[in-house]
Amino acid sequence: MNSTIKLDYVAFGVKYGSGHLYFDRCGQCLLDIERQCPGWGMVSIDVHTGRIENPGKSLIANFNDKEFSFTSQKANKLNMEEIAREVSGVWKVVQANLALEEFVRVGVRFSYLLPTASNEESDALLKRSKMNIVLPPSLLEKDAYSIKNQQIIVVLSKDDTDYRVELAAITRHEGLNPSDLIITDPRLLSNNQKKFRIEKLKQMAEYSANPMFAVHLNIDCSMFGVESFSVEEFVLRHAALVKEDFLPLLMKL
């Protein structure tokens, strides 16, 4: 791999049917995750969403009566096996508590960045991509149009999986929303919340507000109407496929 290419984030999600037990068991679900998954702590809970986080590893998970989502915000600091284990551990608790059996969609997204010095450099690199936009000659010759910038999106299908592939120039600003635990008097927190607060403070210490210009490769792998699946197998299988089939689009710019 080009040493400058960075795996920015990995996101996993499940949309499910019959998640009504969320309204009865959300609190128990969050408590079980805190007890069974080291490093995880509750961020917030309401009728719409339960949110839990592992700040030491920059991991976030949300769930409600319709869907579960998990994001590794600094995926380049973890190996893929560790990410797969973490998402599997949290998902198993959610699935068991909500008695989930019908899975409408299962997906995993991989986001890669090739850093550049400017948007102009990003656009110049995109013009060299093998996945590109082709304009009619009449526009380029007669009307003298030229491509200033471009965002390329294509959805491919193979076997029972859809692959949404996006290649674009981006300007990214990194940011963190402070948790309520940061501004709360530590004397009012439980022992577990105090440990969680320390990890959040460490995470905020790493925060950088500097913008980053890059060529962004974003691959979303989705399966629909899934009867059963292994989270670890699903994540690792598609991570390997993306690395072999799609990452070269970025590596060869």
CA angle 22/26/30 to nearest 5° reads 145
- pLDDT, tens only, 143-174: 677 777 778 999 999 999 999 999 999 887 65
Question: According to the model, what pLDDT value does residue 86 have?
Answer: 98
Q: CA 183, CA 191: separation in Å to the nearest integer?
A: 16
- pLDDT, tens only, 86-139: 999 999 999 999 999 999 999 999 999 999 888 888 988 998 888 887 777 777
Residue range 42-66: average pLDDT? Answer: 95
Q: Is the pLDDT of residue 197 over 80?
A: no
Tell me the C-alpha to C-alpha distance, in Å, between residue 233 and each of 1, 22, 43, 108.
23, 26, 28, 12
The identity of residue 76, as a single letter, is N
Q: For residue 163, list its beta bridge partners.
A: 156, 221
Contact 214, 114 (CB under 8 A): yes
Question: According to the model, what pLDDT value does residue 166 have?
Answer: 97
Considering the chain, what percentage of its residues have pLDDT values greater than 70?
88
Question: According to the model, what pLDDT value does residue 176 have?
Answer: 52
- pLDDT, tens only, 180-193: 666 566 777 778 77
Contact 238, 221 (CB under 8 A): yes
For the chain, the C-alpha Rg in angstroms (whole number) is 21
